[in-house]
Structure 1
């Protein structure tokens, strides 16, 4: 690849292998700080993964020593301000809604399970990108930093939504108030990370997990993801009703019928994602 090539296709590498869509941030010199073009490509790839029956799991990872250093707003399109560089009320909120928040919701709303393979430092939006994924693997050298307070900023990109749901409000405030770097092992202990592995084993472990997911009942996993995510914002009766209807919908799939048949016939099921 041309080292001067800064096209979206070169800055976000993509490949589909064995039912897994691999999305790789590829801007290592900038610790994979996400540009506008990168963000739009990742959002597009996640949408394509939802719609493509051949894709049954997604991995988000990065090259180099950083997973994602946050958002790089340089080169972003104009926000439609009233005049030149003058900022008017609503510009910042609009930029966040159309930018960082869209990226995070694209992960949360992806209909396929998404695995984060955090290869290095995840800071700011990079931390939230990882935590929005369904499963998080981290290399031993990885760190997570709620860097916003260091810049005098409020956490954005869904941070104040995601963190309290993962570690509770007190821990979330500690991370966001101080902005200290959190080692991968401590992130695992707090429940932010599913598993920490040696740096050299990260890619192989991510491949193993993603291929296991890709061999599973894809629609059942999508419905399960939706139920779990929605349960955090709803009451018991609504959650139970949603569960019942999800199972009703799921039982119309071929994979559900295969799962039941394989149990009755005492054999290993062969799921096809349908």
Structure 2
């Protein structure tokens, strides 16, 4: 696929996917949703970490409302089912960690696109807004699932009902995101985090995603059993052997990702 609304750069095990419609604050249209879906699915086959970020002053302002003709004809249920869900599930099902590097405003579906990622790192000038009630809608793109689990029901309800701007610092304090960093340090921070994952034990990361996602529906006993099974798989990898050897030899491990 030739990308028109995003860019993708692959280097040293890291795939950086950048939303690239800065003139509309990286608002999501049908083409961008399809391109994000393709890029994430494709990157997951070769990369050891995927980064999703934005160009300009916004990460993503949500659904593109600028095309009045397209919006007036939009079947919201069909759009969510056929376009949003595949994009979001590409991130959830990606076999390697996906980092959202939130460079600015993340609003509506753009906020939830970030929050569905495995780790969210935001610049301190960034913000998260569940803007849906401002246009008479409910949070979608997974917002009603992730928010209560991340920040509790009261804060999730407040974010949804009032549509207030939540600063990156507040989001970090609430546990909505991993960290908020000064704007001047933002790119260096997310790149360092991504490089760390790109040289780590990739098979262990795959299984961390799998077992963490399963925990919401498992009983404690089921989770114990799943941990045991996946830990047994990890124990048979070359990276486990290398990790133990590096520990004994008091040197950094050289993980191959297998």
Residue 257 of structure 1: aligned partner: 241
Correspondence for 1:103: 87
Mapping for residues 65-104 of structure 1, pairs under 5 Å: 65-72=57-64, 92-104=76-88
Worse-superposed segment, 262-271 or 198-207: 262-271
Aligned position for 1:39: 33
Moved more, 219-228 or 232-241: 232-241
Q: Deviations over 1:64-92 (max 9, x none)?
A: 111001122778xx9xxxxxx6x8xxx53
The TM-score normalised by the length of structure 2 is 0.92
More divergent stretch after superposition (195-204 vs 29-38): 195-204
Give secondary structure in 2 for the equivalent of 1:42. helix
User: TM-score scaled by structure 1?
Assistant: 0.87
C-alpha separation in 2, matches of 1:156 and 1:206: 27
Residue in 2 that maps onto 1:81:
none
Alignment RMSD: 1.9
1:114 is displaced (CA, Å) by 1.1
**Aligned-partner SS, 2:79:** helix
Q: What is the rounded CA distance, in whole Å, between the counterparts of 1:92 and 1:151 in structure 2?
A: 13
Tell me, yes or no, if the aligned pair for 2:59 and 2:104 is still in contact at 8 Å. yes
Cα distance in 1 between the residues matched to 2:112 and 2:29: 16
Query: What's 2:255 paired with?
Result: 271
Matched, 1:223 2:217: no
Instruction: Kindly state the Cα deviation for residue 260 of structure 1 after the two structures are TM-superposed.
Output: 2.4
Matched with 2:16 is 22
Q: Distance in 1 between matches of 2:136 and 2:242?
A: 54
1:87-111 deviation digits (Å, cap 9, x = unpaired): 8xxx532321222222222112111
The count of residues paired between Structure 1 and Structure 2 equals: 254
Which consecutive residues of structure 1, in runs of 5 or more, have no partner in the other structure? 1-6, 79-84
CA distance in 2, matches of 1:194, 1:205: 12
Structure 2 CA distance for aligned equivalents of residues 160 and 185 of structure 1: 21
> For 1:203 and 1:13, how far apart are their aligned partners in 2?
17
- Residue 61 (structure 1) aligns with: 53
Q: Deviations along 1:181-211, whole A, 9 cap, x unmatched? A: 1111111111112111122221111110000
Instruction: Tell me the CA shift for residue 261 of structure 1.
Output: 2.7
- 5 Å matches for 1:140-219? 140-219=124-203
CA distance in 2, matches of 1:191, 1:266: 34
CA contact (8 A) 1:104 1:128 kept: no
